[in-house]
Amino acid sequence: MRFRTFGPFHVNADIENKSDDLGTKFNAAKEGLNNASGVYIFAYREKGRLIPIYVGKAQRQSFGSRIAQHLNGLKFADFLDDRAKKLNIFLIARVDEKDEFLFAKVAAEDEFTIISELEFSLIGSCIAVNPDLLNLHKLKHPDEVHVPGYLGSIPDSTDLSACELASMLRK
């Protein structure tokens, strides 16, 4: 299964009822992106660096629908109070061999599994960057699991293997 990455899309400070504006931004990047499915990452910018705060999947709904639910949700909005001016969204959309979007309504069950596995993998990578990731699926990555250089901890500079692993996994 193929994916394409889009973003980051900047969300203005007033995030309420911005789903129409975001849909327009998504479709401006590539027509149909708002209705596509895949995995998305919310991040905020701090000191010039993007910090992931949530990883989710849009597999039975479109990106537009899932992201609107989050932006209108109280828990998420409360977290963003002091970061809203810096919120960014990445979309990782499913595409076919012709680079055309695959939509949730036409997905096969094995495609849902692949999207879930991609989400799971991205959660692990994002937790390594931000241990305070807001994600219900974080429970799949137990707090007691630490893999220096990948998950749950920053490698000690004396642990050369962990540093090499972290270096390899970083783009």
31 & 103 share domain = yes
Q: Which tokens is 54 given? A: 């949530």
Token pair 């900047």 is found at: 10
CA distance linking residue 12 with residue 20, whole number of Å: 13
Token pair 């911005």 is found at: 18
Q: Which tokens is 35 given? A: 């209705």
159 & 132 share domain = no
Tens digit of pLDDT per residue, the chain (171 long)? 789 999 999 886 555 555 567 888 999 999 999 999 999 999 988 888 899 999 999 988 899 999 988 877 655 666 666 655 578 999 999 888 888 887 765 555 566 688 888 898 888 888 878 888 887 554 455 555 566 776 655 666 677 887 888 777 774
95 & 163 share domain = no
> Into how many domains does the chain fold?
2
118 & 147 share domain = no
52 & 120 share domain = yes
87 & 150 share domain = no
106 & 155 share domain = no
Q: What domain range is 149 assigned to?
A: 143-171
91 & 165 share domain = no
132 & 157 share domain = no
Q: Which tokens is 22 given? A: 């975001």
50 & 99 share domain = yes
28 & 101 share domain = yes
40 & 95 share domain = yes
